Structure 1
Amino acid sequence: MKEANQAILDALSADESQLIEGWQGALPAGAQIASQSSRAEARQLLEGLRDGLRAGGAPDALDAPAWSSLREGLAGFSRSRAAKGETAGETSLFVLALKKPLFDALQARFGSDPAALAGTLWSVTTLIDRVAQHTVTTFQQSREEIIRRQQEELLELSTPVVKLWEGVLAVPMIGVLDSSRTQLVMESLLQSIVETGSGLAIIDITGVPTVDTLVAQHLLKTVTAIRLMGADCIISGIRPQIAQTIVHLGIDLQGITTKASLADALAVALQRTGWRVSRAA
């Protein structure tokens, strides 16, 4: 294995520009190493491979400490490609294309020794395949992280806490309510109550398509938390279908002010806070 590792290291340590040109030629059109960023990625991967081979890393043990530099480079490489919207297949194909220039370099060196050539080519294949597999894994993790972050950002955007006027907050709910989203709403609303000193919050569910037992329980928990903070709550957007569903489910909203529309809730809020709105003559 040492001889094969040294042969691969020698091939990687030869003319880097020529190696990258051969790498580029093995890629399909549109995926070639043309930009400065892609060339920098290629050089970083080559350096990680060289570091691992110098440290005696086995081609079939990419999780060994010797390959730590390569793994770090692959993680950054995968995050960059995922952020650009590329697929896992395109990313692994970029890595697999490195085989061609390495095969050419090793064949030129061991052309007269078929046994040595076969063993070295097997080591190269094992190493690059493991690198490509690791790239796919890190790519998927990066993509999942991006999706999770986007979901959190969308949740925050879809549940804004709006200060209507002094002492009155409103939360327009749009879409399906689940445990994580309700928790986010509760945390944002309670924090806003503390920051603004508001004594009244309006939760508008006009944009919530359906209300079942779970959704109702989430709403009741939110109202309870608001009251524990010393504020009161009005639930608006109680459409006829939702009212019938709540009755059929046997959900008790007694003691909670409910209104059919946000306008009705605003009228109640104005009255409770001592405001009077009149039309100009």
Structure 2
Amino acid sequence: MATGQIRKALSGFYYVQDGEQLIQTRGRGVFRKRGITPLVGDFVEYEVEGNNDGTLTKIAERKNELVRPPIANIDQAILVFSVVEPDFNTILLDRFLVVLESFHIQPLICLTKMDLLPAEKREDMARYIADYEGIGYTVIETFKDDASILGKLTPLLAGKTSVLAGQSGVGKSTLLNTLMPQLNLKTGVISDALGRGKHTTRHVELIEVAGGLIADTPGFSSFDFDTIEKEELTYCFPDLARLSENCKFRGCLHVKEPKCAVKAALEAGDLQQYRYDHYLQFLQEITDRKPRY
């Protein structure tokens, strides 16, 4: 039985990389009956039919899977956020980080358009960068046609499957064009009326870059918390998780509980107020979520 990895999904076809060959396949009806959808990143078995066509017969167990973007077996996520056009958004970044932490996917934060940042916003931006690096995240700063970006990213990409994700219009395709100019991916223009980008990438595809694989994904604006329970949320905030080890009560939600180490750190200035505010907002979203049956 031939084996490979799905590198691209488009119009009902799954393109499987098997050595030097890229085989066009379709999924068997049994997948639909079982409610299974093959995903880019899946390791699969397939049967060859004709010169360059095949049928998927088996999908190996997944390490993880995301719904938006629809992809499996991800090692890390490069979260591309612009500092302007659209402006840097900490609550959106924290939303992405929380969901990735819940899937045990290592996040990397890539800040684009640094050359366009006005002088009056540089101090605030430097403070945000220091905050996230202090939590333990890797933060990479870049700009269009940044000749040094390949050197910054290569050691982080080699041997890993990475998803490239972020809000529309922040420069995901521009970043890939900088890494691999031969791709010449279409880039979008920010809508002045909406303040967000147009969706310019139409399918999910794993692209070989710097000794690893990167998924260029359709633009999307957020993750949701459907798979996270309120008792788990603390552990998706590494800074809160470390502090919570000293809370008096196991399972402390850091809202009204006495002798809460998280609230004590907030009062002492050892936890950023916006991080705690985002935690409370996400906790409320999870609490208000309709029960699943």
TM-score, normalised relative to structure 2? 0.25
Q: Which is greater in Rg?
A: 1
**Larger proportion of strand:** 2
Structure (1/2) with the larger helix percentage? 1
Query: Structure 1 length normalisation: TM-score?
Result: 0.25
